[in-house]
Amino acid sequence: MQFHEIKRQELFLMLRAYYPKEELYNLFFPIVSRSGTFREFVLKHYKEIGSVSEFASRANMTVRSFQRKFKAEFSCPAREWLIARRAEVILRELRTTEKDLMTIAVENGFSAMSYFTTFCKQHLGMTPSGIRRQRRPVFNDGRLDGSGQGSTDRG
């Protein structure tokens, strides 16, 4: 073994011994990240991160560097992408769950119902209760109401 290889191994052993994995990840992420790794990082953490600056901090990058890399990878600005993902989650929950509106609001990071309502109006085109009222009917065995009185066409 060459001297440089031994020293490299020694360095990594010291880093592993004295630093938690999260700190090492934050240290080496910008150095070793490839496009796929960056994408995986974003997709893994976007639900728990509320802002672009928080994302950049978690990726151990400046906000500007994060925004450039994000735009190169996802072909749109990070803020717009985060808002669109948040809107998709909210729309799905409003249409497919029976959770009350305040629960959905809190679970998606809104501190007040008024902010949630404003977000829905701006990004989904109507209020949360309006979206919920527009749910499509659920079909049960070909019947709309589940009463067993479905129409049959015998032509």
* Consecutive H or E run containing 77: none
pLDDT over 70, % of the chain: 82
Q: Is residue 82 part of a domain?
A: yes
The whole-model pTM stands at 0.62
1 pLDDT exceeds 80? no
Q: Indicate whether 103 belongs to any domain.
A: yes
For all residues of the chain together, what is the average pLDDT?
A: 84
Q: Is residue 39 part of a domain?
A: no
Supply the CATH number for residue 88's domain: 1.10.10.60
pLDDT in tens, 77-118: 999 999 999 999 999 999 999 999 999 999 998 999 999 999
**pLDDT tier at 76 (50, 70, 90 boundaries)?**
very high
155 confidence band (pLDDT: 50, 70, 90): very low
Q: Has residue 107 been placed in a domain?
A: yes
Q: Does any domain span residue 87?
A: yes
pLDDT at position 131: 94
Compute the CA torsion angle 124, 52, 15, 32 (nearest 10 deg): 80
The whole-number pLDDT of residue 33 equals 57
- Host domain of residue 88: 77-136
Q: Do residues 102 and 113 lie in contact, with contact meaning Cβ atoms separated by under 8 Å?
A: yes
User: Exposed e or buried b for every residue in 11-35, given b needs 16+ CB within 10 A?
Assistant: eeeeeeeeeeeeeeebeebeeebee
Domains identified in the chain, total number: 1
d(CA 149, CA 4): 81
**What is the model's pLDDT at position 30?**
66
Specify if 21 maps to a domain: no
